[in-house]
């Protein structure tokens, strides 16, 4: 099983941290705080989803 990570600015960690991509559920999981957010193919959409949830 492959594991992808992306760097995103996490609003909870207030830092740029690695997010693991959970392809099974189309979610991103923050390595720092464990928050889950929906993963969108477009990075800017993912970013917006992350911040709308904050
Ligand atoms: Zn975080």
pLDDT for residue 37? 86
Q: What is the DSSP letter of 6?
A: E
What gap in Å lies between CA 52 and CA 5, rounded to an integer? 21
pLDDT in tens, 1-46: 567 888 888 889 999 999 998 888 888 899 999 999 887 777 778 7
pLDDT for residue 1? 52
What gap in Å lies between CA 33 and CA 43, rounded to an integer? 20
**pLDDT grade for 53, boundaries at 50, 70 and 90:** low
Q: How far away, in angstroms, is 6 Cα from ligand 1 center? A: 12
The H or E element containing residue 48 is helix 43-53
Q: How far away, in angstroms, is 9 Cα from ligand 1 center? A: 8
The H or E element containing residue 32 is none
pLDDT for residue 42? 76
pLDDT for residue 2? 63
Q: How far away, in angstroms, is 39 Cα from ligand 1 center? A: 15
pLDDT for residue 31? 94
């Amino acid at each position: 099983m492959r594991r992808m990570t992306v760097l995103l600015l996490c609003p909870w960690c207030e830092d740029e941290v690695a997010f693991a991509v959970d392809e099974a559920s189309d979610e991103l999981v923050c390595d720092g705080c464990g928050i889950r957010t929906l993963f969108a193919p477009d990075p800017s959409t993912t970013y917006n989803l992350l911040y709308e949830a904050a």
